Structure 1
Amino acid sequence: MFRLKNLGRKVRKLLAICETCQKVKHPNWKYDVESRPHLPERKGQLVSVDFYGPVPQGRGGVRYLFVCLDVFTKYVKLYPLKSATTKACLRRLTDDYIPHVVKPEMILSDHGTQYTSSPWVRGLEALGIRARYSPIRNPQSNPAERYMREIGKACRIYCERNHRKWPELIPHIEAWLNKTNSDAAGFTPDEMMYGGEAPRLFADVLPAFPEGEAEPLTLEQNEIRAFARLNKRAEERIKRKKRGQRKWQPAVGEAVLVETHHVSDSNQGVTHKFMRPHEGPFWITRIVSPSIF
């Protein structure tokens, strides 16, 4: 008869360093990796684009919605399209967005084929615009994704009985988004983009403001105040501790596993359900930012 001292502790330690177990098992916690917000200083500095759809074909044969968001002002422009092509996107930018809204210095998009094609890159270069891309399989890094939820919510409310009437709703959704006060900036997107004051909904009922009240802020004053408020809110989000997550700081020379997204192939007789969700180990050689290495 024999006895192994601290057998449970030794088994747990062995399983914790097992390479196969680390690649196959899903962790029971998430790591809180510091992320950096998009914080442009003026309108037009960064415009985020994305597609909503395909959806049921509506009036005019449209099936997609091209979403353009100015990240600083939160001003949204929505373009119904028949097809999600590079040519259609560039046409909307050159014919309407740049002349009537703002000329972007940089356009942020995902890695869709419309945005990674050479016509898209060359077309933006001809307009003096730089193309930038969000990380692969990380859609939340594209600010336009946040507005997809609002568009979908409005369509679910007003298009429940007839899914094909969504194009008629687009002008109203655009107006709702642009005339609603932004809690982060403290102004409406319309005020930030074009200046002036937000319309008073009860101006005909409530008494007018007394004489001698301060004049409305100029567009430049709006931008200065909004940037200060956005910067403050971004710092608060960074400092805010996320519950249920562990803090992790990457270090040069550290070994890490990378999450992968496999694709099933019936011809090869493989399914992504049986593939290991992590690959590695890989060694960190350079740290670009707290979330990029």
Structure 2
Amino acid sequence: LHSGYWQIEVTPEDRAKTAFITHEGLFQFKVMPFGLQNAPTTFQRLMNEVLCFAYLDDIIIFSSSFEEHLRDLGLRAHGLTVNVDKCAFLKQEMRFLGHIVMTEGIKPDPETLQVIAEYPHPCRVKDIQKFLGLCNWYSPFVKGMSELAEPLNHLRHRSCKWEWTEETERAFQDLKHQLCTAEVLHYPDFESPFFLQTDASDVGLGAVLYQEVGGEKRVVAYGSRMLSAAERRYHTTERECLAVVWVVRKYRPYLDSCHFMVIMDHNLLRWLQSMRDTAGKLAQWALLLQEFHFTTPHFIARAHRMAFRMRCPVGKNVSPELDLLPFSCLQLWEAQKLDEFCGLIVEYLMKESFQITPEGENWRVVAPASLRSKVLEYFHDAQTVGHMGRKKTVDRIRSKFFWSQLRQEVEEYVKLCPVCQKVKADNRKLPGLLMPNQLVAPWHTLTLDLMGPLPTSRHGNKYLLVVVDQYRMFPLRRAMGAVIARKVEQEIFCQWGAPKRILSDNGPQFATENWRAFCAAWGVGVDVIYTSLYHPQCNWTEQMNRTIKTILRTYVHGDQARWDKVLPRLGMTLCTMIQDSTGCSPARLKLGRELFLPLDRELQGQEVAESDVTCYEECLAQQLSDLYQLAKSTMEKAHVHQKKEYDKQHHGVGLQVGSLILRRSHPISSKSKGFSAKLARRWEGPFWVARQLSEVIYGLAHVET
């Protein structure tokens, strides 16, 4: 219309109400101006009286024939004028309020859809509101509009922190795609019956209003909504009834004066209409439904029910087991039609006659082969299932889906899951058979380990250096400071000489240039070796450390600052202790005799000292040689026994050069970085096996390097 508001005259008695003052005097409107409280309502009432359909000044007049169309164009009779530049006459297809109105039905305006397709990424809440407002205009064309927009709607909440994640990006793109590929909604044919298909889940209601014309299903409208907090507490029966009541109210203009059929998977409406002494909301619903003329044939629609549940919007706190599946019900149906196994089932069902129990509780979907990988991925990898093990994953999938060899495929999938391999604990025994240390000669290999930090003693000591020979296991009885090389030289090398080889762990004090230079100066620089990372069992000193700690606990209870004062007595205890591996004490291997204690002097008297003087050198050499041979023989027997018992519970490594493996991770917590080792992955990699150094030691190379 041309100046539509101004074509409506204001009655003389009401013109004073529109008066306004200017510098030229008082003025009153003779025609209806903008801004009046009831102006839009008055204008819309006129449009409805004069025209076939109108939204304010956007009007549309439709007719079934050319002659009727000329009669319907009755603007002149009512004194209305139009803007010719904005009018179109005798069209079979036209744009109206963002839609394309055509003979077949109604579809969204492609120009508006192009704007939606090119809509930039939202950067704030207001951008989300604008985008959703644009999309909601076309919600009747999209299945599950609320579900698609749920992640975006969540960002609109004041309590929600703005964070654009992969989920919101996927929702943003999916929403644009669904809108740009929306189907045509058909006009209702009131000469044909309507079908109203409803369903209710734990979180929402769903409905489809359609007709069947010439054997073709024509959708008139889609509908779905969330359940309120109170409605979610309804019984299943009440929710199913609520779905019907909500839908007939929503589509009352279509259903008010005609017969229609309600399709659902329960006979609830018959039950509701046959109830006696109804009260409360059930009575209200029964009274409301009496206004409509419908029938309710029994309809088993578990597949449709799942489709509705997948399409209904899901609340924030609701478990989205089927709602977040990576395929839609339509894709599932199409895949089943192409699947050989599903085809055999359908063929059998069509040939054989049997009875179906409608109230069965074990309905499951037969998963076609093309979608099984997606089912496995969802029921094992999704955040709502948490990478459970084989049994729990099998139980979860079996509650929803069925296919042959399900257990075997789940076990294989879980076994090869890279995330599970890296994060789950390995409770098996460590691989690798026992490799006993090779016995060569006394003072051949010297092992070192630094124990601490211990409580600071009164002399300022914090660490204890433990030195063990392969045969004598004789610890250093001194507290150590920072200059470890000087202490080793003074207390070990200058008294006993340099060993052939030095073995230590990978501590930073043994990896400095000063330490390497010191070892090289004493002729053992080339033979300085280190234990494998995170494998302290390679160092013989570890067992000695446990013994030392046990004895220290008994000595310093109540006063831990005096731990360095008890080291001389602790050393004497270790020197006189008979070792199971050698069969004698370290002092006897060192001196050829046991240390004399006060008790020994009292028991043996003076004769022992006199008898030992004869042939001392020859006897000592022979005695030490015999002791070394005895110790070596005893240790070899002990090693054989230890290896036999150890290998019973362990297996060989058996890695091949070039194979891919994961390496156990040893992260360290950092409070400043907000990192906890308890939540870190247990394994890292993958790595290539680059070379084999021994039966249990391998060199690795990262795949990215």
Into which bin does the TM-score normalised by the smaller protein fall? 0.7 to 0.9
Evaluate the alpha carbon distance shift between residue 275 and residue 239 of structure 1 in structure 2; reply closer, same or farther with a 3 A threshold.
same
Taking the aligned partners of 1:198 and 1:54, their CA distance within structure 2 comes to: 31
Evaluate the alpha carbon distance shift between residue 7 and residue 244 of structure 1 in structure 2; reply closer, same or farther with a 3 A threshold.
farther
Q: Secondary structure at the match of 1:38?
A: coil
Q: Secondary structure at the match of 2:528?
A: strand
Offset of 1:219 from its aligned partner? 1.1
Evaluate the alpha carbon distance shift between residue 118 and residue 256 of structure 1 in structure 2; reply closer, same or farther with a 3 A threshold.
same
**Higher mean C-alpha displacement, 243-252 vs 114-123:** 243-252
Q: Deviations over 1:104-125 (max 9, x none)?
A: 2222111222110001000111
Taking the aligned partners of 2:442 and 2:476, their CA distance within structure 1 comes to: 14
Offset of 1:171 from its aligned partner? 0.5
Q: Does 1:291 align with 2:688?
A: no
Q: Does 1:166 align with 2:558?
A: no
Taking the aligned partners of 2:640 and 2:418, their CA distance within structure 1 comes to: 38
Equivalent residues of 1:73, 1:192 under 8 A apart:
yes
Q: Deviations over 1:232-259 (max 9, x none)?
A: 2212222224566555422334322111
1:101 alignment partner in structure 2: 496
Taking the aligned partners of 1:53 and 1:265, their CA distance within structure 2 comes to: 21
Equivalent residues of 1:43, 1:193 under 8 A apart:
no
Evaluate the alpha carbon distance shift between residue 205 and residue 20 of structure 1 in structure 2; reply closer, same or farther with a 3 A threshold.
same
Evaluate the alpha carbon distance shift between residue 176 and residue 292 of structure 1 in structure 2; reply closer, same or farther with a 3 A threshold.
same
Taking the aligned partners of 2:456 and 2:500, their CA distance within structure 1 comes to: 33
1:7-86 equivalences under 5 Å are 7-81=406-480, 83=481, 85=482
Taking the aligned partners of 2:673 and 2:532, their CA distance within structure 1 comes to: 29
Evaluate the alpha carbon distance shift between residue 108 and residue 247 of structure 1 in structure 2; reply closer, same or farther with a 3 A threshold.
closer
Q: Identity of counterpart residues, as a percentage?
A: 25
Taking the aligned partners of 2:549 and 2:516, their CA distance within structure 1 comes to: 29
Select which of 186, 204, 212 maps to 2:583: 186
Taking the aligned partners of 1:52 and 1:206, their CA distance within structure 2 comes to: 39
Taking the aligned partners of 2:479 and 2:633, their CA distance within structure 1 comes to: 34
Taking the aligned partners of 2:591 and 2:603, their CA distance within structure 1 comes to: 26
Evaluate the alpha carbon distance shift between residue 57 and residue 264 of structure 1 in structure 2; reply closer, same or farther with a 3 A threshold.
closer
Taking the aligned partners of 2:456 and 2:417, their CA distance within structure 1 comes to: 52
Taking the aligned partners of 1:98 and 1:248, their CA distance within structure 2 comes to: 39
Unaligned stretches of 5+ residues in structure 2: 1-364, 367-401, 609-618, 699-705
Q: Secondary structure at the match of 2:625?
A: helix
Taking the aligned partners of 1:13 and 1:55, their CA distance within structure 2 comes to: 49
1:212 alignment partner in structure 2: none
Taking the aligned partners of 2:494 and 2:439, their CA distance within structure 1 comes to: 21
Q: Does 1:262 align with 2:667?
A: yes
What RMSD, in angstroms, separates the aligned Cα atoms of the two structures? Answer: 2.7
1:143-222 equivalences under 5 Å are 143-197=540-594, 204-205=602-603, 218-222=623-627
Taking the aligned partners of 2:490 and 2:588, their CA distance within structure 1 comes to: 23
Amino acid corresponding to residue 98 of structure 1 in structure 2 = F
Tell me: higher relative CO, structure 1 or 2? Use CA pairs within 8 A at least 6 residues apart: 1
Equivalent residues of 1:188, 1:198 under 8 A apart:
no
Taking the aligned partners of 1:202 and 1:194, their CA distance within structure 2 comes to: 17
Unaligned stretches of 5+ residues in structure 1: 210-214
Q: Deviations over 1:121-144 (max 9, x none)?
A: 001110112322112222222111
Equivalent residues of 1:29, 1:244 under 8 A apart:
no
**Higher mean C-alpha displacement, 161-170 vs 229-238:** 229-238
Taking the aligned partners of 1:264 and 1:176, their CA distance within structure 2 comes to: 38
Q: Deviations over 1:29-51 (max 9, x none)?
A: 22431232333322211111112
Amino acid corresponding to residue 657 of structure 2 in structure 1 = V
Over alpha carbons, which structure has the higher Rg?
A: 2
Taking the aligned partners of 2:668 and 2:458, their CA distance within structure 1 comes to: 36
**Higher mean C-alpha displacement, 123-132 vs 72-81:** 72-81
**Higher mean C-alpha displacement, 43-52 vs 1-10:** 1-10
2:405 alignment partner in structure 1: 6
**Higher mean C-alpha displacement, 279-288 vs 221-230:** 279-288
Taking the aligned partners of 1:178 and 1:276, their CA distance within structure 2 comes to: 44
Offset of 1:265 from its aligned partner? 4.6
Q: Secondary structure at the match of 1:43?
A: coil
Equivalent residues of 1:109, 1:133 under 8 A apart:
yes
Taking the aligned partners of 1:142 and 1:4, their CA distance within structure 2 comes to: 54
Q: Secondary structure at the match of 2:573?
A: helix
**Higher mean C-alpha displacement, 103-112 vs 54-63:** 54-63
Q: Secondary structure at the match of 1:78?
A: coil
2:631 alignment partner in structure 1: 226
Q: Secondary structure at the match of 2:686?
A: strand
Select which of 687, 699, 703 maps to 1:282: 687
2:516 alignment partner in structure 1: 121
Evaluate the alpha carbon distance shift between residue 58 and residue 271 of structure 1 in structure 2; reply closer, same or farther with a 3 A threshold.
closer
2:539 alignment partner in structure 1: 142
TM-score by length of 2: 0.38
Equivalent residues of 2:433, 2:650 under 8 A apart:
no
More helix by share: 2
1:247-258 equivalences under 5 Å are 247-258=652-663
Taking the aligned partners of 1:46 and 1:241, their CA distance within structure 2 comes to: 24
Amino acid corresponding to residue 90 of structure 1 in structure 2 = A
Amino acid corresponding to residue 503 of structure 2 in structure 1 = L
Taking the aligned partners of 2:404 and 2:579, their CA distance within structure 1 comes to: 62
Offset of 1:291 from its aligned partner? 1.0
Q: Secondary structure at the match of 1:57?
A: coil
Q: Secondary structure at the match of 2:407?
A: helix
Equivalent residues of 1:31, 1:248 under 8 A apart:
no
Taking the aligned partners of 1:185 and 1:270, their CA distance within structure 2 comes to: 47
Taking the aligned partners of 2:489 and 2:676, their CA distance within structure 1 comes to: 44
Offset of 1:63 from its aligned partner? 2.1
Q: Secondary structure at the match of 2:590?
A: helix
Amino acid corresponding to residue 111 of structure 1 in structure 2 = N
Evaluate the alpha carbon distance shift between residue 47 and residue 241 of structure 1 in structure 2; reply closer, same or farther with a 3 A threshold.
closer
Equivalent residues of 2:434, 2:647 under 8 A apart:
no
Taking the aligned partners of 1:258 and 1:7, their CA distance within structure 2 comes to: 31
Q: Secondary structure at the match of 1:14?
A: helix
**Higher mean C-alpha displacement, 43-52 vs 193-202:** 193-202
Offset of 1:268 from its aligned partner? 5.0
Amino acid corresponding to residue 626 of structure 2 in structure 1 = Q
